[in-house]
């Protein structure tokens, strides 16, 4: 990220956004800039390894609302996607950019999708990592009822952690155990993400395991002590009150109330869409793309399946950068 220029803007809503840009000499002229949108609980630096492998493209990588150098409101309504993505279009305006390739990972994937849904004139293409295109719910979302249904039909749930993250106690526990948050997110076993985040109460149990008998070998990329130090210091400073608002906005149906008015025609992603599914991600499952595919909502879809876990920008940057480059070269 050192090669990128750090900038800031105050949105019309009054929020300050920090973002990073690269304007390489000789940038591929016919390719729109890449707008890189990170997920929970990260910041723009999540993209650093991928950015380093795409030097020929113009890049815009913001710290999304609630993270890094950007404002951190604790009212979940601030994270409603039509307003949140409007903030991002104001960054594009400041940079003189008409259209972008909207790229996202984790919650950033949802932001990247909603940027298209609410501002299709600003998006030339979409690239999603881990989280597939999730159609807006036709009815209010109930996380408890959803987990009950998953347990009844599948015999397990992969969304148990969300019940914990929306509680009043979650931000304090996460902050006090930021090192355990890091370890829990980046465990090496193939089924680790599902085993730690899926069952109800398991993630909280992991965080509060003061005796230390619950341990896990980290993935190779996560063994860098500097990477962990930066993560832990960031959240001991900033806390988690803002980041968990993405989950609260979902579970409180703040997203639903705005998205329910979108017509079926508006839900079709008509621009080229590239999706990276990850076989070891037991929470953000590739098969969740099925409803969008079956309904004809992703008519110009390309898919790449990677054998990695949830934090694919850190674990598989070579494969992702190569896939993005081939996609852009072919389609733009």
Q: Looking at the predicted structure, is the pLDDT value of residue 212 above 90?
A: no
pLDDT at residue 23, as a whole number: 82
pLDDT single digits (tens) 218-250: 999 999 999 999 999 999 999 999 999 999 999
Q: What angle do CA 118, 51, 267 make, to 5 degrees?
A: 20
pLDDT at residue 25, as a whole number: 74
Cis bond upstream, residue 41 (ω within 30): yes
What would the mean pLDDT of 203-223 be, rounded to a whole number? 89
Per-residue confidence band for 214, with pLDDT thresholds at 50, 70 and 90: confident
* CATH 3.40.50.1820 matches 5-136+262-331: yes
pLDDT at residue 327, as a whole number: 98
Between CA 91 and CA 287 the distance in angstroms is: 33
Q: Looking at the predicted structure, is the pLDDT value of residue 279 above 70?
A: yes
Per cent of the chain over pLDDT 90 is 95
Average pLDDT, the chain: 96
3-state SS assignment for residue 218 = strand
Question: Measuring CA to CA, how many Å separate 150 from each of 154, 194, 249, 263, 292?
Answer: 5, 13, 21, 28, 20
Question: Measuring CA to CA, how many Å separate 206 from each of 3, 209, 289, 307, 323?
Answer: 37, 5, 30, 25, 35
Q: Looking at the predicted structure, is the pLDDT value of residue 264 above 70?
A: yes
Stretch (H or E) spanning 102: strand 100-105
3-state SS assignment for residue 105 = strand
Q: Looking at the predicted structure, is the pLDDT value of residue 257 above 80?
A: yes
pLDDT at residue 210, as a whole number: 67
Between CA 52 and CA 252 the distance in angstroms is: 38
What would the mean pLDDT of 8-32 be, rounded to a whole number? 90
- Nearest CA to 109 out of 287, 249, 279, 276 is that of 276
pLDDT single digits (tens) 116-172: 999 999 999 999 999 999 999 999 999 999 999 999 999 999 999 999 999 999 999
3-state SS assignment for residue 185 = helix
- Nearest CA to 234 out of 182, 270, 276, 288 is that of 182
Per-residue confidence band for 294, with pLDDT thresholds at 50, 70 and 90: very high
| Residue 104, φ and ψ in degrees, nearest 5 | -150, 150
Between CA 264 and CA 249 the distance in angstroms is: 22
Per-residue confidence band for 211, with pLDDT thresholds at 50, 70 and 90: low
pLDDT at residue 87, as a whole number: 98
pLDDT at residue 242, as a whole number: 98
Q: Spell out the domain ranges in the chain.
A: 5-136+262-331, 143-249
Per cent of the chain over pLDDT 70 is 98
Contact predicate 24/81, CB 8 Å? no
Contact predicate 64/19, CB 8 Å? no
What spatial distance separates the first Cα and last Cα of the chain, rounded to whole Å?
A: 25
């Amino acid at each position: 990220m050192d090669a990128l220029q750090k900038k800031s803007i105050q949105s019309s809503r009054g929020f300050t956004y920090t973002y990073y840009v690269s304007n390489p000499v000789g940038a591929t002229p016919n390719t729109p800039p890449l707008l890189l949108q990170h997920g929970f609980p990260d910041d723009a630096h999540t993209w650093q390894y991928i950015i380093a492998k795409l030097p020929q493209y113009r890049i815009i990588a913001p710290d999304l609302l609630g993270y890094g150098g950007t404002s951190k409101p604790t009212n979940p309504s601030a994270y409603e996607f039509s307003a949140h993505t409007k903030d991002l279009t104001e960054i594009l305006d400041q940079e003189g950019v008409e259209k972008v390739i909207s790229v996202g990972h984790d919650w950033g994937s949802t932001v990247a999708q909603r940027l298209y849904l609410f501002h299709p004139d600003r998006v030339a293409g979409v690239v999603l990592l881990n989280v597939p295109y999730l159609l807006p719910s036709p009815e209010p979302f109930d996380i408890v009822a959803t987990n009950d249904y998953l347990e009844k039909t599948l015999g397990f749930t992969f969304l148990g952690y969300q019940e914990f993250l929306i509680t009043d106690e979650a931000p304090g526990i996460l902050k006090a155990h930021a090192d355990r948050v890091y370890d829990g997110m980046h465990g090496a076993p193939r089924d680790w993400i599902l085993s730690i985040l899926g069952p109800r109460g398991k993630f909280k149990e992991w965080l509060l395991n003061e005796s230390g008998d619950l341990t896990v070998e980290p993935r190779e990329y996560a063994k860098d002590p500097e990477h962990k130090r930066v993560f832990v210091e960031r959240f001991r400073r900033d806390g988690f009150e803002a980041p968990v608002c993405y989950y609260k906005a979902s579970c409180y149906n703040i997203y639903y109330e705005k998205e329910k008015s979108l017509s079926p025609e508006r839900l079709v992603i008509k621009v080229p869409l590239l999706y990276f599914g990850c076989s070891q991600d037991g929470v953000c499952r590739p098969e969740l793309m099925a409803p969008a595919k079956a309904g004809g909502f992703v008519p110009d879809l390309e898919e790449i399946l990677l054998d990695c876990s949830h934090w694919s920008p850190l674990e598989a940057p070579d494969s992702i950068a190569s896939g993005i480059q081939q996609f852009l070269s072919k389609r733009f």
